[in-house]
């Protein structure tokens, strides 16, 4: 089933029935429709008056438009793949969550924005009216009220930019609303995933529906770049028709007796006791321990390890996780359910997942299958460490990498 780009973004990451879908139901009157329209109209007026005069319009539009979201790392894969030398002449940023900035690029006509809003509203309201309460109708109505005017503005903005340069492409870390507006403006959109995919939702539940009965709604990206074959197969099985590519990783040679542990951003999301036991385990086996705190971590856990022998805290800011692995060359990488575990495996490093059994759930990337499960497989880990030649470790990595 093909869904219009003017509506697909609101259902992104949702499972939808291939047959007997709610899309086939007869539309009803949506009581919230007038509120959505009135709110959207005033939001358009606000965006219009935030604009500067045409004299301040950006000129010389480059071929690449990079969507910059609230998280500073979400767009960084653009530079690795398409602009490794950070050539400023190739791209411009669009800060999609800052209306004081994206409204300054070009001055758009009010009636163009309003007409695009009307078209999107006209398509969205009948679809929302077909939903039932258990299908997340209330939340989607709120999302439509806030986001429809933004969608309309960006669609007009991208059309205007394309009139200046017909070769432009849009790159984002997965801001689906902005990407759908670019596609509506007939501009190729690239989704450069900044981490492993989250599982899609069905009625706000975490289950794994049968791919033969459900597809996943995403904008019609030209290309999607992912970290793992598991994610690629997941999207293909669920009818995502974009060209799906994998990031390239090179195996790291001459690994050291070292474990690199990536911590996550909040203490309550980490099993600190498991962390301490893991550190103690590897120290007893004469391994150097390197801790890497998440860039947004605000706690004081690092104070516990500052004076511990054979523990080093890496404080580099620019190096990505995969780059740090290439620098440190550890035999093991440990973390909770994190993209770093996938990056480690693809670079020939044994990943250790510190999640408890209660945290295990269905994910497009199977952490239990693709890593050493710390709470159950320490005996196997002992055997891998006892093999001084390292053949057992290489065989194990090859085995868990297999499809």
What pLDDT, on a 0 to 100 scale, did the predictor assign at position 316?
73
Per mean pLDDT, which range of 52-56, 124-128, 188-192, 381-385 is the poorest? 52-56
Q: How confident is the model at residue 206 (pLDDT cuts 50, 70, 90)?
A: low
What pLDDT, on a 0 to 100 scale, did the predictor assign at position 25?
82
* Residue 160, pLDDT above cutoff 90: yes
Q: How confident is the model at residue 76 (pLDDT cuts 50, 70, 90)?
A: confident
Q: How confident is the model at residue 243 (pLDDT cuts 50, 70, 90)?
A: very high
* Residue 39, pLDDT above cutoff 90: yes
E strand or H helix at 72? none
Segment 375-386 shows an average pLDDT of: 89
Q: Which two tokens stand for residue 98?
A: 């800052």
pLDDT digits (tens, 9 = 90+) for 121-158: 999 999 999 988 888 889 999 999 999 999 999 999 99
Q: Which domains, and CATH codes, for the chain?
A: 5-246 (no CATH), 256-400 (3.40.50.2000)
Query: Average per-residue pLDDT in the chain?
Result: 88
More confident residue, 308 or 177: 177
Q: How confident is the model at residue 300 (pLDDT cuts 50, 70, 90)?
A: low
3-state helix/strand/coil string of 188-256: CEEEECCCCCCCCEECCECCCCCCCCEEECCCCCCEEEECCHHHHHHHHHCCCCCEEEECCCCCCCCCE
Q: How confident is the model at residue 295 (pLDDT cuts 50, 70, 90)?
A: low
The answer to whether the beta carbons of residues 392 and 384 sit under 8 Å apart is yes
Q: Which two tokens stand for residue 97?
A: 């969550």
Which of 269, 260, 317 lies closest to 288, judged by CA? 260
The answer to whether the beta carbons of residues 58 and 106 sit under 8 Å apart is yes
Q: Within its chain, how far is the Cα of 196 from the centroid?
A: 7
More confident residue, 359 or 173: 173
């Amino acid at each position: 089933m093909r869904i219009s780009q003017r509506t697909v973004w609101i259902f992104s990451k949702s499972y939808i029935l291939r047959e007997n879908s709610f899309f086939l139901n007869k539309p009803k009157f949506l009581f919230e429709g007038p509120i959505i329209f009135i709110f959207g109209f005033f939001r358009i007026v606000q965006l219009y008056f935030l604009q500067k005069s045409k004299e301040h319009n950006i000129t010389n539009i480059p071929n690449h438009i990079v969507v910059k979201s609230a998280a500073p790392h979400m767009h960084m894969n653009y530079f690795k793949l398409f602009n490794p030398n950070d050539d400023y002449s190739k791209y411009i940023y669009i800060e999609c969550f800052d209306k004081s900035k994206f409204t300054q690029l070009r001055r758009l006509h009010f009636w163009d924005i309003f007409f695009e809003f009307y078209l999107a509203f006209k398509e969205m309201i009948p679809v929302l009216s077909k939903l039932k309460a258990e299908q997340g109708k209330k939340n989607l109505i709120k999302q439509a009220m806030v986001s429809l005017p933004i969608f309309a503005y960006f669609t007009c903005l991208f059309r205007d930019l394309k009139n200046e340069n017909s070769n432009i492409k849009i790159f984002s870390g997965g801001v689906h609303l902005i990407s759908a507006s670019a596609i509506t403006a007939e501009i190729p959109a690239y989704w450069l995933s900044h981490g492993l995919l989250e599982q899609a939702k069905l009625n706000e539940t975490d289950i794994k529906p049968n791919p033969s009965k459900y597809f996943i709604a995403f904008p019609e990206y030209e290309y999607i770049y992912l970290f793992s074959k598991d994610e690629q197969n997941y999207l293909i099985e669920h009818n995502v028709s974009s060209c799906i590519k994998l990031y390239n990783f090179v195996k790291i040679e001459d690994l050291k007796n070292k474990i690199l542990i990536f911590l996550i951003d909040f203490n309550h999301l980490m099993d600190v006791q498991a962390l301490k036991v893991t550190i103690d385990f590897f120290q007893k086996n004469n391994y150097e321990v390197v801790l890497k705190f998440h860039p947004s971590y605000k706690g004081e856990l690092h104070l516990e390890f500052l004076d511990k022998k054979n523990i080093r805290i890496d404080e580099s800011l620019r190096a990505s996780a995969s780059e740090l692995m290439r620098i440190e060359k550890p035999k093991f990488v440990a973390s909770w359910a994190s993209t770093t575990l996938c990056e480690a495996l693809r670079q020939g490093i044994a990943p250790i997942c510190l999640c408890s059994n209660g945290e295990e759930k269905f994910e497009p990337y199977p952490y239990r299958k693709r890593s050493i499960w710390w709470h159950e497989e320490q005996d196997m880990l002992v055997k891998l460490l006892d093999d001084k030649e390292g053949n057992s470790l290489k065989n194990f990595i090859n085995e868990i990498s297999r499809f």
